[in-house]
Chains A and B, each alone.
Chain A
Amino acid sequence: MISSYEILETIQMIEDEKLDIRTITVGISLFDCADSNGKRARNKIYDKITRVAQDLVKVGDDIEAEYGIPIINKRVSVSPISLIAAASGERDYTEFAVTLDRAAKEIGIDFIGGFSALVHKGYAGGECTLIQSIPQALSNTDKVCSSVNIGTTRAGINMDAVREMGFIIKKTAELTATDGGIGCAKLVVFANAPEDNPFMAGAFHGVGEGEAAINVGVSGPGVVKAALERVRGENMETVAETIKKMAFKITRVGQLVAREASKRLNIPFGIVDLSLAPTPAIGDSVAHILEEMGIESCGAPGTTAALAILNDAVKKGGIMASSQVGGLSGSFIPVSEDAGMIEAVKRGSLSIEKLEAMTAVCSVGLDMIAIPGDTPAETIAAIIADEAAIGVVNGKTTAVRIIPAPGKGVGDTVEFGGLLGKAPVMEVSKFSSANFINRGGRIPAPLTSLKN
């Protein structure tokens, strides 16, 4: 039998340290839903999602009850809608987003991702239409998430798309102004987007994926923080070892839930995403892990190095715990979703520039950051370009999920509620990047792309 100590440790991780499964995400291919008639395509999409994922919520709840591990979200990701809607020839894809929203509500899931376009090398078919439809789509739906991939290490960075996304983000914020610009919290601009990511807002079912897949994301910053509290003052090797052991245990739970969900839903197991995802709850913060490692307040010198240790150890510990690893796999640093990050911004220790440096050593990028509502679109585009450059040159995923909060300035706070939390509005450079952004074109792929 498992020892008493081990049983109590697991219970403590779940009850006191907030270990949970962040999401079971079912990826669904919609390739067979394309149709020259838009209405017919939408009917096929609705039918397929509600058929394939109809038992997702029930299975999630059953697993939660049997194993006693909270499963916070059940989600669906679909093939990039730009590819499916293109055949319809319609000039606006908002109706496709409304259909996704309706299907999500019918099966009772929390989010649906895939109102997406991959334009890292250029616009094809419906991709231009999809991007233009994003502001309306996100303001007319509740559960739909959108993402646009504007760069890859192999293709370089599509600066026309980068510029356009600056304006699309502004427009999305304006159309959802009454809710603090919440539409932007459901919109991610990627470089090197992964095709099997279970986390929102960036989840979509990639073109190389199979018919359907179960992808699972775990969450356990509180567990790592508690483990580090027990090794205060010890050297870095001990810190790394401690994180690795905890990451292994966390990921094993993810693997167990993914296998079980796969069996019960009769959908192949895809990947476990080895990510540390914080929530706004006290005791579930990545910033507090960095502070436990010896940084007085997140953002102070040493923060990037501390995050690098954390991110590396999470992967090393997690990789052996799962048979298939994928998605974003690394530590997340969303500001509004992390109580420690919010405090650090308010204390003045954490700036956008420091967050940008941190994104070079962890997964994702500038995530859930509120900036003044009057920030020019070109400046937002330039922030995206900087993030994309870090991702493209270093062969990693980076992303920007930024909210130009309408009518708000530095010192204000925007409330989103739930997992999205609340964001203190952060200062952005006042100097213009417009002439750089307005050049357009494509930044060539870096030398590191030539690996053959």
Chain B
Amino acid sequence: MRAIITVIGRDRVGIIAKISTVLADNNANILDISQTILQEYFTMMMLVDLSGITVGLEELKKKLSEEGEKLGVTVRVQHEDLFRSMHRI
């Protein structure tokens, strides 16, 4: 499955690096990435291919959440189709 990963929180050094490392360690492939600062909040969105991940989806979500907690950001993993079906006809 392809998922959208969103990372939202206060900006600091190394957010992209740390989150990308978790993904790489678990064989999740980043297809697209965009990042912006909205009202002082760091907002990153990634399109990620999870079809080759070496752990279960729940486990990966947990690892990302734990990493996010250390960084003070919220990490969400959601199937791409949720956004596609809502915003594309």
Contact = CB atoms under 8 A, between A and B. Distances in A.
A252 B61 contact: no
A66 B3 CA distance: 8
B86 A249 contact: yes
A7 B4 CA distance: 8
B79 A10 contact: no
A65 B78 CA distance: 8
A6 B83 CA distance: 7
A67 B45 contact: no
Contacts of A7: 4, 6, 45, 83
B34 A256 contact: no
Interface string A1-16: 1101011111100000
A147 interface: no
A354 to B, nearest CB: 35
A69 interface: yes
A9 B81 CA distance: 15
A65 B45 contact: no
A99 to B, nearest CB: 34
A252 B89 CA distance: 9
Of A6, A7, A69, chain B has the most CB atoms within 10 Å of the CB of: A7
Contacts, number: 61
Given A4-B34, A68-B76, A68-B77, A10 B82 contact: yes
Given A8-B43, A11-B6, A68-B76, A2 B58 contact: no
Contacts of A253: 82, 85-86
A69 B78 CA distance: 8
Given A1-B47, A256-B81, A10 B86 contact: yes
B77 A4 contact: no
Nearest to A5: B87
A6 B87 CA distance: 7
Contacts of A255: 85
A67 B82 contact: yes
Interface residues of A, number: 19
Interface string A252-264: 1101100000000
B16 interface: no
B84 interface: yes
Interface in A162-197: none
Contacts of A10: 82-83, 86-87
A256 B85 contact: yes
Interface in A247-291: 249, 252-253, 255-256
Contacts of B77: 68
Interface in A37-72: 65-69
Contacts of A4: 34, 36, 43, 45
B60 to A, nearest CB: 11
Interface of A: 1-2, 4, 6-11, 65-69, 249, 252-253, 255-256
23 contacts: A1-B47, A2-B84, A2-B88, A4-B45, A6-B86, A7-B4, A7-B6, A7-B45, A8-B43, A10-B82, A10-B86, A65-B61, A66-B57, A66-B79, A67-B81, A67-B82, A68-B77, A69-B78, A249-B87, A252-B85, A252-B86, A253-B82, A253-B85
Interface of B: 1, 3-4, 6, 32, 34, 36, 38, 43, 45, 47, 57-58, 61, 76-88
Given A10-B86, A256-B81, 6 more contacts: A7-B45, A10-B83, A11-B6, A65-B61, A253-B85, A256-B85
